[in-house]
């Protein structure tokens, strides 16, 4: 029932070709609504203001709030979409009887529906959009549904129409317009074009696109709840007005007037574009502006943060300075007081001494006067004495006494001066103190930091230290000297270098890689030099390792990378970095293997890829530069020959893959044998990656080359022949006068086998899992022989020439499919 | 679906002449080993053949390996003794094992000897009386039987290979050499490689084809190899070293090897130490042969 309904519902032609502007108005209205709603959630701002946060922070937040408002809008839209999607099918059937019979556009009817619907359900009132509401999400969905129904209904399929999938493609929104006109057969994606006559198709298609736009971007334009409620009553009819609205929407936008216009209105010479396009453009513009604002906000936030920091620093500095000042002034005042006290007491003392002296002198003076007076009295008495004799008798002693007395010179000099000594006062110390109020004391020893990981280069280290926060430092002197590990006591320590630094860090250059240096630092200011810091040992990073490509091996599932340290001193570890380099552009490291203790690393890989490997050496100072990279293809197994196993008669080409057994006889005495070289069989081993699984390689031989190729344990007997023991398996080619003989040898035994075509390119497939070693004529894809042997240990490819000749190993070849049928 | 079904019904009606009768059906290695009987238009008698249908055949078309048995054999020998079903199941191959000659044709002398007549069709189209009406085993195994199989079973008509033992090895080799490209691969166990040069072959060819030896050449693998021109073949041959017919000079593999070496036809010929001409020998190496065919049929 429903299916039939919806089919006929698809039939109604677009009633919608007239009055496009209504849709535009609706759009504008909803846009206004958005504008109105946007500033609504202001309360968070106020709230935060109350909370006492920095006002600047608040202003930063405001645009974000707006943004979040928009987001909620979008969310609502999405929710709406869902509900309407669900409702839509229910609405279809009811609609059908009304629309089905209609053969042409009937705007009047549509208008009627519009008014009717909106009046009845008050759907749009809330937003004040009235009938013009352009949201036609339900409509779009209906159309799509119809497309689907057509296909599944079978009628269209019988007509040879495109299948259901095509029908329900996005463009299917057009189909319903064209059922009677057979236009649905054309699935032309609509391309809005300015030149196009504002014809039917254009309007419709333009509208559809526009509607979808609205659907995605517009905030809610219709009351979902209202619609949902109305459903049981007659919700199906609600679809029709929606259709009508859609058709009446304006479909062009004049970029010069910046207004949506009908195409009929004259905008000659104006750039006119489709509404959706215009909306998109302006939206983009708006987005760009918002982005700009967001950037500014970010900048301002940063700046504010910075200011805050500075604010705190100023506070700190002030505190320090104030404390400093106070201390110094106290010192000076104390000193001066001391000085004053000293000097005042000195003066007192001096006064005392002076007065004492003067007093003594005065007393002495008085005594002398008394004596003089007494003598005068005695002389007068004698002089008055009439008795000459008595006078004479008495005068002599008196005269003696006077003479004695006068003999003593009178000391009339002042014993003490009236002036006080004005001794020069030495205030230089005070002066210095006064001066030193403005300089801080000599700094204390800075604290040198231990080396920060990953801070060093191969010839440089970054040394950091700190000072006590009270200290003021004009500059630092960074001292360093290499730490020699093997220094004996007698040798003079290596010369030290020093460098003046203003900052509390320094990148010291021109050092040796992977070497230890001892650093210490002193701080200096106008007052003086600090004691040296503790000594710290820093290390430069190692030189980059050197990958040894000839010793690397790979297979589809793994690679074995080997390298040389590149450093004389040991390093802590290595880091292997690998990246997939399918696109030449990507240089990103996709994987790192850290803390590799030795100079080799086996890495699991994905088959059929191309990887770029590089290695870094790491010590406490950090990682070295990357080594030169090597590229590994995981298409096939790749190995190199172990040239140190090669028989002395076997020479190996430059590229390492072709071996020659020359004609000339080398005297045995001239041959250099080691424990590892093959001594009997003119053979060499290849080094296969130690990974189980399947390996494949090929060997190219001449028609008459007498060879043995196969695999052997690494310790296979060097004085035996390959295949002649139980540690090797090989295919052997022998040229007899009558024929070419092929043997598949293990432990001296061979399968009796005849091969009619001499293989010139032999594929060797080694499968550890199934324990099979197979040989193929790679040119013919012909299976030659398979050894069933369960390898207990890893084996290596082996190659031997029984007679002078050459053979070439071909590596890194993807195993052909036919090896699975071996 | 509908028209196809109609077509199928029509096809079935049309081919009532090709009707098959199931003789037996046994589940085996996940699939079924069956025997069918039918009226052969080439041989003008009732013919049986064994067919192994691997599990894969239930859901998709599978390649077919035709197995030609040796002297005195019926369709039963291979299906009961060779143990090919396990490998066929794994590789998804149908194996069709026809009988070795027409039966019950009431031709005078057909049951007189074990190496001529019944059980010894030698995979030729007889040209001499009284054999020429019924003894058309070559046409039967290369034309009628494949047609029958392709019509009634989920067989991929583009992918067929052929193998056989002894006389059947001879048959497999000539079928492959005479029909370049028809068979993706060929293999043989102890085949009669050069029937013109051995007693069996001379008796059979003389009986079926007459005394004109040039007519024999059309059914001699060694001769055919010398003039082969077509897509590359990959021939796998296993031969027991203790095979009494090898030492009796009935098989003559060296002649074929020489011809193939000359004509650069790839052959791997394995002389298996200690093995004789029996199905124990076949059983021992049948897996290698199934793999050999699987490699080309499943490529």
Mean pLDDT by 10 residues, chain B (299 residues): 49 59 94 95 93 95 95 93 94 95 88 89 91 92 94 94 95 95 94 94 93 92 92 93 93 94 93 94 95 91
Bigger pLDDT: A542 or B247?
Answer: B247
ipTM, interface predicted TM-score of the complex: 0.88
Please provide residue A596's backbone torsions phi and psi, each rounded to the nearest 5 degrees.
-80, 120
Contact list in B for residue A783 (CB cut-off 8 A) is 234, 236, 268, 292, 295
Q: Is B243 a catalytic residue?
A: yes
Note the pTM of the prediction, 2 decimals: 0.60
Q: Is B265 in contact with A781 (Cβ distance < 8 A)?
A: no
Bigger pLDDT: A504 or A13?
Answer: A504
* A204 pLDDT above the threshold of 80: no
pLDDT given for residue A625 in this prediction: 84
| Mutation for A interface: B241, B268, B296, B297, most A CBs within 10 A | B268
pLDDT band for position A764 (50/70/90)? very high
Bigger pLDDT: A258 or A263?
Answer: A258
Inter-chain Cβ pairs, chain A and chain B, closer than 8 A: 62
Residue A784's closest chain B neighbor by CA? B268
Candidates A753, A780, A822; nearest CB to B266: A780
Q: Is B292 a catalytic residue?
A: no
* A602 pLDDT above the threshold of 60: yes
Q: Is B269 in contact with A756 (Cβ distance < 8 A)?
A: yes
Q: Cα distance from A783 to chain B (closest Cα, Å)?
A: 8
Structure tokens at B150: 């392709």
What pLDDT digit, counting tens, does each position of A313-354 carry?
888 778 877 887 888 788 888 888 988 898 889 889 988 998
Q: Is B269 in contact with A757 (Cβ distance < 8 A)?
A: no
pLDDT given for residue A241 in this prediction: 43
pLDDT given for residue A719 in this prediction: 86
Candidates B261, B272, B298; nearest CB to A756: B261
Tell me how far apart the alpha carbons of residues A485 and A330 are, in angstroms, rounded to a whole number.
53
Distances from the Cα of B142 to the Cα of A139, B117, B166, B168, B169, angstroms: 65, 20, 18, 13, 14
Bigger pLDDT: B2 or A429?
Answer: A429
Contact list in B for residue A751 (CB cut-off 8 A) is 270-271
Max mean pLDDT among A48-62, A388-402, B197-211 falls in: B197-211
Q: Percentage of chain A surpassing pLDDT 90? A: 13
* A41 pLDDT above the threshold of 50: no
pLDDT given for residue A23 in this prediction: 40
Q: Percentage of chain B surpassing pLDDT 70? A: 94
pLDDT band for position A588 (50/70/90)? low
Tell me how far apart the alpha carbons of residues B158 and A17 are, in angstroms, rounded to a whole number.
60
Tell me how far apart the alpha carbons of residues B156 and B93 are, in angstroms, rounded to a whole number.
10
Q: Cα distance from B57 to chain A (closest Cα, Å)?
A: 20
pLDDT given for residue A16 in this prediction: 42
Q: Cα distance from A782 to chain B (closest Cα, Å)?
A: 7
Interface check for A60 against chain B (CB to CB < 8 A): the answer is no
Side-chain-facing half-sphere of B158: CA atoms under 13 Å: 4
Q: Is B268 in contact with A783 (Cβ distance < 8 A)?
A: yes
pLDDT band for position A134 (50/70/90)? very low
Q: Cα distance from A158 to chain B (closest Cα, Å)?
A: 15
CB-based contacts of A305, cutoff 8 Å, min separation 6: none
Pseudo-torsion of CA B282, B287, B289, B293, nearest 10°?
A: 150
Candidates B234, B260, B298; nearest CB to A782: B234
Per-residue pLDDT, averaged over A71-94, amounts to: 41
Residue A818's closest chain B neighbor by CA? B295
Tell me how far apart the alpha carbons of residues A231 and A233 are, in angstroms, rounded to a whole number.
5
Per-residue pLDDT, averaged over A206-234, amounts to: 43
Least confident piece of the model among A68-77, A315-324, A654-663, B195-204? A68-77
Q: In the beta sheet, which residues pair with residue A696?
A: A765
pLDDT band for position A524 (50/70/90)? confident
pLDDT given for residue B167 in this prediction: 94
* A672 pLDDT above the threshold of 60: yes
Q: In the beta sheet, which residues pair with residue A638?
A: A554
What pLDDT digit, counting tens, does each position of A715-736 carry?
888 888 899 888 999 999 999 9
Bigger pLDDT: A441 or A332?
Answer: A332
Candidates A753, A817, A820; nearest CB to B269: A753
Max mean pLDDT among A433-437, A530-534, A627-631, A797-801 falls in: A797-801
Candidates B232, B268, B291; nearest CB to A755: B268
Pseudo-torsion of CA A654, A658, A661, A664, nearest 10°?
A: -40
What pLDDT digit, counting tens, does each position of A605-639 carry?
888 888 888 898 888 878 888 888 888 888 889 99
* A116 pLDDT above the threshold of 90: no
Least confident piece of the model among A243-257, A267-281, A387-401, B92-106? A243-257
Per-residue pLDDT, averaged over A648-661, amounts to: 88
pLDDT band for position A439 (50/70/90)? low
Helices and strands, number each (H, E), in chain B: 12, 9
Interface check for A735 against chain B (CB to CB < 8 A): the answer is no
Interface check for A589 against chain B (CB to CB < 8 A): the answer is no
pLDDT given for residue B196 in this prediction: 93
Contact list in B for residue A820 (CB cut-off 8 A) is 295
Max mean pLDDT among A107-111, A136-140, B237-241 falls in: B237-241
Q: Is A756 in contact with B241 (Cβ distance < 8 A)?
A: no
By the 8 A CB rule, do B255 and B197 touch? yes
Q: Percentage of chain A surpassing pLDDT 70? A: 65
By the 8 A CB rule, do B279 and B82 touch? yes
Max mean pLDDT among A481-490, A588-597, A756-765 falls in: A756-765
Contact list in A for residue B270 (CB cut-off 8 A) is 751-754
3-state SS of chain B: helix, strand, coil percent to 5?
Answer: 40, 25, 35
Side-chain-facing half-sphere of B107: CA atoms under 13 Å: 25
Contacting A residues, span 752-811, partner chain B, CB-CB under 8 Å: 752-757, 777, 780-785
By the 8 A CB rule, do A612 and A590 touch? no
Q: Cα distance from B185 to chain A (closest Cα, Å)?
A: 11
Catalytic pick from B243, B289, B292, B293? Answer: B243
Bigger pLDDT: A10 or A444?
Answer: A444
Q: Is B293 a catalytic residue?
A: no
pLDDT given for residue A274 in this prediction: 78
pLDDT given for residue A335 in this prediction: 85
Catalytic pick from B91, B165, B277, B293? Answer: B277
pLDDT given for residue A10 in this prediction: 40
Q: Cα distance from B290 to chain A (closest Cα, Å)?
A: 9
Max mean pLDDT among A136-140, A464-468, A497-501 falls in: A497-501
Pseudo-torsion of CA A792, A798, A803, A807, nearest 10°?
A: 150
By the 8 A CB rule, do A241 and A116 touch? yes
Max mean pLDDT among A128-137, A176-185, A240-249, A443-452 falls in: A443-452
Least confident piece of the model among A176-185, A684-693, B55-64? A176-185
Beta strands in A235-324 (DSSP E): 252-254, 259-261, 272-274
* A24 pLDDT above the threshold of 50: no
Q: Long-range contacts made by residues A768-776, C-beta under 8 angstroms, separation at least 24?
A: A768/A692, A768/A693, A768/A694, A769/A692, A769/A693, A769/A694, A772/A822, A773/A710, A773/A711, A773/A729, A774/A819, A774/A822, A775/A731, A775/A744, A776/A816, A776/A818, A776/A819, A776/A822
- 3-class DSSP state of A762: strand
Q: Is A818 in contact with B294 (Cβ distance < 8 A)?
A: no
Distances from the Cα of B132 to the Cα of A644, B125, B127, B135, B154, angstroms: 71, 7, 5, 6, 32
Chain B interface residues (partner A, CB cutoff 8 A): 232, 234, 236, 241, 257, 260-261, 264-273, 291-292, 294-295, 298-299
By the 8 A CB rule, do B138 and B123 touch? yes
* A403 pLDDT above the threshold of 80: yes
* A235 pLDDT above the threshold of 50: no
């Amino acid at each position: 029932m429903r299916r039939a309904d919806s089919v006929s519902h698809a039939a109604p032609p677009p009633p919608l070709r007239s009055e496009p502007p209504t849709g535009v108005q609706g759009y504008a209205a909803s846009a206004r609504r958005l504008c109105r709603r946007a500033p609504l959630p202001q309360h968070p701002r106020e709230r935060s203001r109350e909370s006492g946060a920095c006002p600047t922070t608040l202003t930063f937040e405001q645009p974000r709030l707006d943004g979040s408002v928009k987001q909620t809008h979008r969310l609502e839209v999405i929710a709406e979409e869902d509900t309407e999607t669900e409702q839509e099918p229910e609405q279809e059937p009811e609609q059908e009887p009304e629309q089905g019979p209609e053969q042409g556009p009937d705007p009047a009817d549509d208008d009627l529906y519009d008014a009717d619907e909106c009046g009845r359900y008050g759907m749009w009132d809330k937003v004040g959009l009235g009938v013009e509401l352009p949201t036609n999400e339900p409509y779009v969905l209906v159309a799509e549904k119809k497309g689907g129904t057509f296909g599944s209904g079978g009628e269209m399929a019988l007509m040879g129409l495109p299948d259901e999938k095509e029908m329900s493609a996005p463009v299917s929104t057009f189909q319903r317009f064209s059922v009677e006109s057979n236009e649905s057969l054309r699935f032309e994606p609509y391309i809005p074009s300015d030149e196009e006559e504002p014809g039917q198709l254009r309007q419709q298609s333009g509208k559809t696109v526009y509607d979808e736009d609205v659907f995605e971007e517009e905030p809610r334009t219709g009351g979902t709840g209202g619609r949902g409620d109305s459903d049981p009553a007659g919700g199906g009819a609600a679809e029709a007005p929606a259709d009508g609205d859609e058709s009446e929407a304006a479909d062009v936008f004049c970029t010069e007037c910046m207004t949506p216009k009908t195409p009929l209105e004259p905008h000659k010479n104006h750039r006119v574009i489709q509404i959706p396009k215009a909306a998109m453009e302006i939206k983009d513009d708006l987005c760009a502006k918002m982005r700009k604002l967001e950037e500014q906000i970010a900048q301002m936030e940063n700046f504010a943060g910075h200011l805050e920091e500075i604010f705190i620093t100023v506070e700190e500095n002030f505190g320090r300075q104030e404390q400093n000042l106070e201390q110094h002034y106290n010192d000076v005042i104390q000193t001066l007081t001391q000085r004053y006290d000293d000097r005042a007491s000195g003066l007192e003392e001096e006064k005392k001494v002076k007065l004492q002296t003067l007093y003594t002198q005065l007393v002495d003076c008085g005594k002398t006067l008394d004596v003089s007076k007494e003598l005068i009295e005695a002389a007068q008495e004698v002089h008055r004495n009439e008795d000459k004799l008595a006078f004479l008798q008495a005068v002599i002693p008196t005269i003696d006494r006077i003479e004695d007395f006068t003999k003593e010179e009178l000391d009339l000099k002042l014993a003490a001066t009236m002036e006080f000594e004005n001794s020069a006062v030495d205030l230089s110390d005070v002066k210095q103190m006064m001066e030193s109020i403005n300089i801080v004391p000599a700094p204390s020893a800075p604290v040198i930091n231990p080396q920060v990981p990953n801070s060093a280069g191969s010839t440089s280290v970054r040394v950091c230290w700190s000072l006590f926060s009270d200290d003021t430092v004009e500059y630092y002197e960074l001292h360093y000297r290499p730490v020699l590990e093997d220094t004996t006591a007698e040798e003079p320590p290596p010369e030290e270098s020093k460098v003046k630094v203003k900052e509390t860090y320094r990148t010291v250059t021109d050092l040796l890689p992977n070497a230890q240096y001892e650093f210490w630092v002193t701080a200096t200011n106008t007052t003086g030099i600090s004691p040296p810091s503790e000594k710290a040992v820093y290390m430069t990073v190692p030189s980059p390792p050197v990958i040894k490509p000839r010793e690397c091996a790979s297979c589809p599932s793994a690679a074995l990378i080997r390298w040389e340290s590149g450093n004389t001193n040991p390093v802590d570890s290595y880091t292997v970095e690998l990246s997939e380099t399918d696109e030449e552009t990507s240089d990103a490291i996709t994987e790192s293997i850290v803390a590799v203790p030795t100079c080799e690393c086996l890495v699991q890989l994905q088959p059929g890829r191309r990887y770029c490997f590089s290695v870094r050496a790491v010590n406490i100072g950090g990682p070295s530069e990357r080594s030169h990279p090597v590229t590994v293809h995981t298409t096939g197994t790749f190995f190199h020959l172990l040239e140190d196993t090669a028989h002395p008669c076997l020479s190996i080409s430059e590229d390492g893959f072709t071996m020659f057994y020359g004609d000339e006889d080398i005297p045995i005495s001239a041959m250099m044998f080691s424990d590892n070289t093959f001594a009997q069989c003119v053979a060499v081993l290849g080094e296969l990656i130690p990974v189980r699984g399947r390996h494949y390689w090929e060997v190219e031989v001449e028609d008459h080359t007498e060879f043995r190729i196969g695999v052997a344990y690494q310790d296979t007997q060097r004085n035996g022949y390959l295949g002649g023991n139980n540690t090797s398996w090989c295919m052997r080619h022998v040229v007899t006068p009558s024929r070419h003989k092929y043997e598949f040898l293990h432990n001296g035994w061979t399968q009796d086998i005849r091969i009619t075509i001499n293989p010139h390119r032999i594929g060797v497939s080694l499968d550890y899992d199934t324990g099979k070693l197979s040989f193929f004529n790679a040119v013919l894809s012909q299976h030659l022989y398979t050894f069933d042997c369960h390898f207990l240990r890893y084996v290596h490819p082996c190659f031997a020439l029984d007679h002078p000749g050459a053979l070439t190993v071909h590596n890194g070849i993807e195993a052909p499919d036919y090896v699975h049928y071996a | 679906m509908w028209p196809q079904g109609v077509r199928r019904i029509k096809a079935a009606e049309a081919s009532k002449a090709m009707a098959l009768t199931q003789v037996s059906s046994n589940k085996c290695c996940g699939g079924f080993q069956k025997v069918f009987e039918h009226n052969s238009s080439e041989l003008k008698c009732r013919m049986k053949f064994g067919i192994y249908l691997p599990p894969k055949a239930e859901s998709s078309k599978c390649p077919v390996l035709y197995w030609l048995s040796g002297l005195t054999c019926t369709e039963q020998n291979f299906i009961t003794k060779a143990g090919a079903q396990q490998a066929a199941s794994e590789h998804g191959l149908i194996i069709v094992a026809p009988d070795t000659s027409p039966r019950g044709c009431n031709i005078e002398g057909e049951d007189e000897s074990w190496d001529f007549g019944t059980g010894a069709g030698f995979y030729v189209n007889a040209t001499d009386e009284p054999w020429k009406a019924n003894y058309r085993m070559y046409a039967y195994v290369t034309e009628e039987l494949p047609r029958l199989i392709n019509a009634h079973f989920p067989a991929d008509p583009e992918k067929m290979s052929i193998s056989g033992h002894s006389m059947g090895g001879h048959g497999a080799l000539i079928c492959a050499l005479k029909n370049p490209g028809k068979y993706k691969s060929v293999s043989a166990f102890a085949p009669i490689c050069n029937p013109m040069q051995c007693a069996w072959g001379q008796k059979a060819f003389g009986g079926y084809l007459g005394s004109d030896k040039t007519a024999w050449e059309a059914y001699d693998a060694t001769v055919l190899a010398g003039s082969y021109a077509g897509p590359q073949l990959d021939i796998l041959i296993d031969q027991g070293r203790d095979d009494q017919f090898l030492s009796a000079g009935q098989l003559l593999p060296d002649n074929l090897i020489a011809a193939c070496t000359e004509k650069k036809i790839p052959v791997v010929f394995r002389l298996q130490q200690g093995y004789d001409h029996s199905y124990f020998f076949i059983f021992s190496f049948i897996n290698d042969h199934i793999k050999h065919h699987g490699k080309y049929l499943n490529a």
